[in-house]
């Protein structure tokens, strides 16, 4: 009987040790993949031949670890109705079915599929969705750590015609390309 009790006790101890190890591994992974909080003082600016302005209403998940890019990801949205061109009439036009059709497509979304190191910083590859159209898209960015968290900075171009965002009048090439400047401070 004592040999049987010894074997049962050993099995119980092995199971307990394995359970503690699994919990420790999952806890370590959670700590490494901590989510960043988007600060309220971010800026999303766009410029083009016929339109300039800003967006507000940025929300989502930002998980970034420059030492472990495979566990990093972005899943963010911007509220289309937050557009501000500095002109009430242009804002109304941009939110209407002539451009973004905010009633039907209320968000611009980006969801990364991979993040990699580049000579100039990083590149987030993923899916950009605007106006009900989803396209493969790469957003280049830099990340600078600071005492309170860090700052993501990016500059890229988007052709609005690729996403079906058009105006009734004829469009001449460069007028359809918008330059987007992002400055996104984040906090731990």
Token pair belonging to 118: 């580049």
pLDDT number for residue 173? 52
pLDDT number for residue 9? 47
CA distances to 35, 95, 132 from 90, rounded to whole Å, are 36, 9, 21
135-168: b or e for each residue (b if 16 or more CB lie within 10 Å)? eebebebebeeeeeebbbebeeebebeebebeee
169 band by pLDDT with thresholds 50, 70 and 90: low
Q: What's the pLDDT tens digit per position in 8-52?
A: 444 454 545 444 444 444 444 444 557 899 999 999 999 988 789
Burial class for 109, CB neighbours closer than 10 Å (0-12, 13-18, 19+): middle
Domain extents in the chain: 1-32, 35-187
- CATH 2.40.128.110 describes domain 35-187: yes
pLDDT number for residue 15? 46
- The H or E element containing residue 8 is helix 2-32
- Residue 43: which of 56, 52, 53 has the closest Cα? 56
Q: Residue 81 carries which DSSP code?
A: G
> Which of 19-23, 69-73, 138-142, 164-168 has the weakest average pLDDT?
19-23
Q: What's the pLDDT tens digit per position in 63-100?
A: 999 999 999 999 999 999 999 999 999 899 889 988 89
On whether the CB atoms of residues 55 and 181 are closer than 8 A, the answer is no
Reported in sequence order, the residue ranges of 29-132 that DSSP labels E, i.e. its strands, are 35-38, 43-47, 52-55, 58-63, 73-79, 107-118, 121-130
Single pTM value for the model: 0.79
146 band by pLDDT with thresholds 50, 70 and 90: very high
């Amino acid at each position: 009987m004592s040999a049987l009790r010894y074997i049962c006790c050993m099995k119980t101890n092995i199971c307990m040790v394995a359970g503690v190890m699994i919990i420790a591994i999952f806890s370590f992974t959670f700590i490494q993949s901590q989510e960043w909080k988007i600060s309220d003082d971010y800026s999303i600016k766009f410029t083009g031949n016929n339109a300039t302005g800003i967006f507000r209403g940025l929300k989502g998940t930002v998980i970034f670890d420059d030492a472990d890019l495979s566990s990093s990801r972005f899943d963010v949205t911007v509220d289309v109705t937050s557009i501000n061109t500095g002109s009430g009439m242009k804002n109304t036009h941009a939110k209407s079915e002539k451009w973004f059709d905010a009633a039907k497509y209320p968000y611009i979304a980006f969801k990364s599929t991979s993040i990699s190191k580049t000579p100039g910083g990083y590149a987030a590859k993923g899916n950009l969705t605007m106006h009900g159209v989803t396209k493969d898209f790469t957003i280049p960015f830099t990340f600078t750590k600071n005492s309170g968290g860090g700052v993501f900075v990016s500059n890229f171009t988007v052709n609005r015609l690729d996403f079906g965002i058009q105006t009734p009048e004829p469009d001449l090439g460069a007028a359809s390309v918008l330059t987007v400047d992002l400055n996104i401070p984040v906090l731990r």
